[in-house]
């Protein structure tokens, strides 16, 4: 890997603040972006290959078929090409109540999640949320923000060293900067990413014919799981109460899309069943 002088890294990060940007298509939000789609996809493909080596892959055929169907429908509902996407949906045999999506169209669902979710609608809500993180390039945006925070801190450190600021005072200032950047910049953006993925993911799920109202029922189940959680101000995620309240407001907006998409998929399924029956009768 090519190495750059520390000053150059700081200058590049600061330049990125002024020049590197992208836009989330579904929301119109402008993002700081210092990572190319190609680099992002390659990192996702490499990470997914490693995960498949480390995690146990489920051999439950029915469950795999179920996740494949949900995933393909959501991928189609995205409605646009994802850079370097090679869609793949894998079920991991684990009690973890979790799912994830990586750049390059790689999606993992844990069996623990499928046991907590009581319907395809609830599973689709989670998969839509995770895929929305990818389409919105949240991972690349977080990496870009980390570059920027580190770059500005580095420039400040170099400036104080050049002015012969006392080392103890310098460390105090840099520590305060790091804390302030985390609480005032990094964590709020992380919570924004989660809320944005909720909204975009609902759109994707509804467009795939899955009920957006399932988001509320699912997250109520997640909230009931309990466990210690930090105050919202210090968390990477919105609180359960905040998230559920927002989903209750969002779901009705996507009901027309859901009803329209559901009818379309039901029509396709009926046509497929009719064709299968006709083939069966001809074969008798």
Q: Which residues are catalytic?
A: 130
3-state SS assignment for residue 60: coil
What 8-state DSSP symbol labels residue 236?
A: S
Q: Which of 212, 214, 210 is nearest to 261 (CA)?
A: 210
Q: Write out the two tokens for 181.
A: 């950047």
What 8-state DSSP symbol labels residue 49?
A: H
Containing 127, the helix (H) or strand (E) segment is helix 120-135
For the purposes of burial, counting CB atoms within 10 Å of the CB of 103, is it exposed (0-12), middle (13-18) or buried (19 or more)? buried
Q: Which of 216, 34, 223, 233 is nearest to 126 (CA)?
A: 216
E strands, 61-105, are 88-92, 99-102
Q: Is residue 233 within 8 Å of residue 187, measured between CB atoms?
A: yes
Integer Cα distance of 131 and 150 in angstroms: 28
β-pair partners for 21: 32
Sign of the Cα torsion 83, 86, 91, 94 reads negative
């Amino acid at each position: 890997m090519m190495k750059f002088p520390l000053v150059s890294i700081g200058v590049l990060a600061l330049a990125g603040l002024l020049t590197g940007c992208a836009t989330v298509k579904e929301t119109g939000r402008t993002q700081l972006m210092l990572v190319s789609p190609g680099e992002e996809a390659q990192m996702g493909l490499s990470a997914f290959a490693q995960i498949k080596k480390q995690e146990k892959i489920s051999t439950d055929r029915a469950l795999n078929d179920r996740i494949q169907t949900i995933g393909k429908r959501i991928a189609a509902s995205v409605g646009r090409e994802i850079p370097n996407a090679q869609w793949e949906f894998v079920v991991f045999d684990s009690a973890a109540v979790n799912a994830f999506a990586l750049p390059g169209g790689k999606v993992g669902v844990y069996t623990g999640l499928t046991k907590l979710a009581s319907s395809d609608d609830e599973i689709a809500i989670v998969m839509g949320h995770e895929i929305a993180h990818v389409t919105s390039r949240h991972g690349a945006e977080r990496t870009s923000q980390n570059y920027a925070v580190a770059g500005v801190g580095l420039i400040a450190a170099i400036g104080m060293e050049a002015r012969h600021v006392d080392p103890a005072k310098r460390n105090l200032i840099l520590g305060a900067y790091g804390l302030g950047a985390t609480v005032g910049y990094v964590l709020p953006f992380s919570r924004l990413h989660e809320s944005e993925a909720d909204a975009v993911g609902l759109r994707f799920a509804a467009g795939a014919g899955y009920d957006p109202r399932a988001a509320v029922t699912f997250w109520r189940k997640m909230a009931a799981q309990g466990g210690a959680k930090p105050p919202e101000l210090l968390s990477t995620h919105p609180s359960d109460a905040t998230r559920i309240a927002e989903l209750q407001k969002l779901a009705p907006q996507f009901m027309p899309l859901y009803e329209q998409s559901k009818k379309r998929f039901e029509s396709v399924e009926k046509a497929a069943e009719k064709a299968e029956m006709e083939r069966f009768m001809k074969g008798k």
